[in-house]
């Protein structure tokens, strides 16, 4: 199959089926959506994948606890919660994978077979500590180290029969079972070499350093099968064992692009889509994506993804003390996506979380800040520019945009502000510096609002001899609005489409953003519509 455009394959984590989607899952998903929309506008053939992680003992337990006949029925009941929120938030995913789908089972089983054939997995008996809630094994050393840390902090010693989990501090169990192991230890040096030769593989830099020091601390072989429950994907060569949920989950990125399916078409799809350009993940799952996943791919002889972008957690700014606090039900400071959508609307929701919240670190949010950003950037700047400009165009030019004047290339502050804007914006977008990208657009929008004050079109309109000047001023404003609507579209797709509609332009997002940002694109002469305010001001 021929592809006219290069592939851009972007993924979110697949979300754990036992928890409803929340502000954090929405944060990852919108972040990936903005990049997907930008890359489509940037002439790529985008595949944007999200989905659900549905296996493991805890899922089977939740199904039973909630009175479902089967774990599958429980998972099916959760699916609409995710699909509905993504639809509400205008998420443009091209695929939605569930780890209980046949295509995924086939992908995981093929992957395990390849690992076996290439000699990277072996069966051994496992004797060690197990955290049932986390479905994770820990070595004696890890457990002892954690006990020492607790003692150093002056905490009580744990029951020696049940030391505490180094990850979640819940009691561990001693278990002995047969397990399949992945030779993770063999990849310590290959991983370090890879990080060295691919300095952009893990972003931002702080996360990269965290991974480097973890790997330098030594890697142990990883137990990748479970035989104490059966809600999982069977090992094709040892059906008593099911795949460890994390190994199962990571392989979704491959099974979604045809890995494991028969035939030439699937092989072509894998070749076209893999490796992925970027996995967007939260900081809590960095080791799985930056250590285990690349090691598994090396073992299977497959190329590694180009980049893992790691975002921090959302925290809540306590508006009395100013402190950033962890969001939690017990503190009573948890915020649901629906509440924010109700206040801001979908496009402003996306704008706030993407453009005002820093993505590389933990980022505090607050209701006060949401209102402030909404009123300043959207109501007073972008919305105001659109409404004033369209109003004047309608009033002074008989309901139409002025035709592009012959002297449209004449130097004006707006033409100057738009010079090189695509390059500056695109560099920020590629780096997930969405606030940097939005600042570029806002600078042009603010320049246009100042330009209105400076040029005073209402005064020009009173003097018939200055009609050409007036036409140039209004055309300049509408041209800036056209360009800004293209640049804002990944963040606020509905508002951008509406702005283009009011300008009688195609509502489809561009697939050539560089060209769309060239000065002079607006032919004019078509009807314009002032319409209702795009962002009605929020009053306290
Ligand atoms: Zn635990």
Distance 168 CA to ligand 1 centre (A): 4
Distance 150 CA to ligand 1 centre (A): 15
Does 165 count as an annotated binding residue? yes
pLDDT of 459 strictly over 70: yes
Distance 408 CA to ligand 1 centre (A): 65
Distance 20 CA to ligand 1 centre (A): 21
* CB of 331 closer than 8 Å to CB of 289: no
Q: Which CATH code fits 7-113+247-312?
A: 3.40.50.620
E strands in 384-454: none
* CB of 31 closer than 8 Å to CB of 280: yes
Residue 358's pLDDT band (boundaries 50, 70, 90)? Answer: confident
Q: Would you kindly state where each structural domain of the chain is located, as residue ranges?
A: 7-113+247-312, 118-226, 346-516
Residue 475's pLDDT band (boundaries 50, 70, 90)? Answer: very high
Concatenated DSSP letters of 62-101: HHHHTT-SSHHHHHHHHHHHHHHHHHHTT---SEEEETTS
Residue 330's pLDDT band (boundaries 50, 70, 90)? Answer: confident
**Overall average pLDDT of the 123-131 stretch:** 89
**Overall average pLDDT of the 290-319 stretch:** 96
* CB of 163 closer than 8 Å to CB of 174: no
Does 400 count as an annotated binding residue? no
pLDDT of residue 352: 98
Give one word for 67, left, alpha or beta, with left for phi > 0 and alpha for psi -120 to 50: left
Distance 293 CA to ligand 1 centre (A): 21
Q: Which CATH code fits 118-226?
A: 2.170.220.10
pLDDT of residue 522: 97
Distance 349 CA to ligand 1 centre (A): 34
- Both tokens of 45, joined, read 């053939």
Distance 167 CA to ligand 1 centre (A): 5
- Both tokens of 511, joined, read 């697939």
pLDDT of 312 strictly over 90: yes
Angle between helices 434-455 and 384-396 (to 10 degrees): 40
pLDDT of residue 159: 83
pLDDT tens string 286-303? 999 999 999 999 999 999
pLDDT of 442 strictly over 80: yes
Residue 485 φ/ψ, nearest 5 degrees:
-65, -35
pLDDT tens string 17-45? 999 999 999 999 999 999 999 999 999 99
**Overall average pLDDT of the 264-284 stretch:** 97
**Overall average pLDDT of the 388-401 stretch:** 97
Same fold, 118-226 and 346-516: no
What's the CA gap between 317 and 327, in Å, rounded? 9
pLDDT tens string 332-341? 888 999 999 9
Residue 131 φ/ψ, nearest 5 degrees:
-100, 110
Residue 3 φ/ψ, nearest 5 degrees:
-120, 125
Distance 396 CA to ligand 1 centre (A): 68
pLDDT tens string 208-235? 999 999 999 999 999 999 998 999 999 9
Distance 224 CA to ligand 1 centre (A): 17
What's the CA gap between 429 and 441, in Å, rounded? 12
- Both tokens of 118, joined, read 């290439």
Residue 173 φ/ψ, nearest 5 degrees:
-115, 150
pLDDT of 168 strictly over 60: yes
Does 428 count as an annotated binding residue? no
pLDDT of 273 strictly over 60: yes
Distance 101 CA to ligand 1 centre (A): 28
Distance 229 CA to ligand 1 centre (A): 18
Distance 142 CA to ligand 1 centre (A): 12
| Averaged pLDDT of the chain | 95
Residue 322 φ/ψ, nearest 5 degrees:
80, -5
Contacts of 71-80 spanning 24+ positions with Cβ under 8 A: 71/231, 72/100, 74/17, 75/17, 75/100, 78/17, 78/18, 78/20, 78/52, 79/52
- Both tokens of 226, joined, read 């479970």
**Overall average pLDDT of the 416-441 stretch:** 97
Distance 170 CA to ligand 1 centre (A): 6
Distance 136 CA to ligand 1 centre (A): 7
Q: What angle do CA 153, 155, 158 make, to 5 degrees?
A: 130
Q: Which CATH code fits 346-516?
A: 1.10.730.10
Distance 140 CA to ligand 1 centre (A): 14
Residue 1's pLDDT band (boundaries 50, 70, 90)? Answer: low
Distance 110 CA to ligand 1 centre (A): 30
């Amino acid at each position: 199959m021929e592809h006219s455009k290069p592939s851009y394959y972007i993924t979110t984590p697949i979300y754990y089926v036992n928890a409803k989607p929340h502000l954090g899952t929405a944060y990852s998903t919108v972040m990936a959506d903005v990049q997907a929309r930008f890359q489509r506008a940037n002439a790529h053939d985008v595949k944007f994948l999200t989905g659900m992680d549905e296996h493991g003992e805890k899922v089977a337990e939740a199904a039973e606890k909630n009175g479902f006949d089967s774990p599958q029925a429980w998972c099916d009941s959760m699916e609409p919660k995710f699909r509905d929120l993504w639809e509400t938030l205008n998420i443009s995913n091209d695929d939605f994978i569930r780890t209980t789908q046949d295509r995924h089972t086939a992908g995981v089983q093929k992957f395990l077979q390849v690992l076996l054939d290439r000699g990277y997995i072996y069966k051994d008996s496992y004797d060690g500590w197990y955290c049932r809630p986390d479905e994770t094994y820990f070595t004696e050393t890890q457990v002892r180290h954690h006990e020492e840390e607790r003692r150093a902090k002056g905490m009580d010693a744990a029951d020696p029969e049940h030391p505490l989990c180094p990850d979640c501090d819940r009691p561990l169990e001693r278990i002995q079972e047969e397990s399949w192991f992945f030779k993770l230890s063999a990849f310590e040096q290959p991983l370090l070499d890879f990080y060295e030769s691919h300095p952009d593989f893990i972003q931002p830099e702080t996360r990269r350093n965290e991974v480097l020091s973890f790997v330098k601390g030594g890697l142990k072989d990883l137990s990748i099968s479970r035989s104490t429950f059966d809600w999982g994907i069977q090992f094709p060569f040892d059906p008593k064992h099911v795949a460890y949920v994390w190994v199962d989950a990571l392989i979704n990125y491959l099974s979604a692009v045809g890995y494991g399916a028969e035939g030439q078409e699937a092989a072509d799809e894998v070749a076209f889509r893999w490796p992925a350009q970027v996995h967007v993940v939260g900081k809590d799952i960095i080791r799985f994506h930056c250590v285990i996943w690349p090691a598994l791919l090396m073992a299977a002889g497959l190329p590694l993804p180009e980049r893992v972008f790691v975002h921090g957690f959302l925290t809540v700014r306590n508006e009395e003390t100013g402190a950033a606090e962890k969001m939690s039900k017990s503190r009573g400071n948890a915020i649901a996506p629906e509440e924010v959508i109700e206040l801001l609307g979908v496009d402003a929701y996306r704008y706030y979380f993407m453009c005002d919240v820093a993505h590389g670190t933990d980022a505090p949010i607050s209701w006060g800040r949401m209102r402030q950003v909404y009123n300043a950037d959207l109501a007073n700047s972008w919305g105001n520019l659109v409404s004033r400009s369209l109003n004047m165009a309608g009033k002074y030019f008989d309901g139409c945009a002025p035709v592009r004047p012959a002297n449209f290339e004449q130097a004006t502050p707006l033409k100057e502000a738009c010079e090189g804007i695509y390059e500056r914006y695109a560099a920020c977008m590629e780096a997930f510096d969405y606030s940097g990208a939005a600042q570029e657009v806002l600078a042009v929008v603010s320049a246009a609002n100042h330009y209105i004050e400076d040029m005073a079109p209402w005064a020009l309109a009173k003097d018939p001899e200055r009609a050409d000047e007036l036409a140039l001023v209004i055309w300049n404003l509408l041209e800036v609005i056209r360009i800004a609507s293209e640049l804002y579209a990944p963040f606020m797709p509905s508002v951008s489409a509406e702005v283009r509609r009011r300008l009688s332009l195609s509502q489809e997002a561009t697939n050539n953003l560089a060209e769309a940002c060239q000065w002079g694109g607006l032919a004019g002469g078509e009807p314009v519509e002032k319409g209702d305010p795009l962002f009605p001001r929020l009053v306290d």
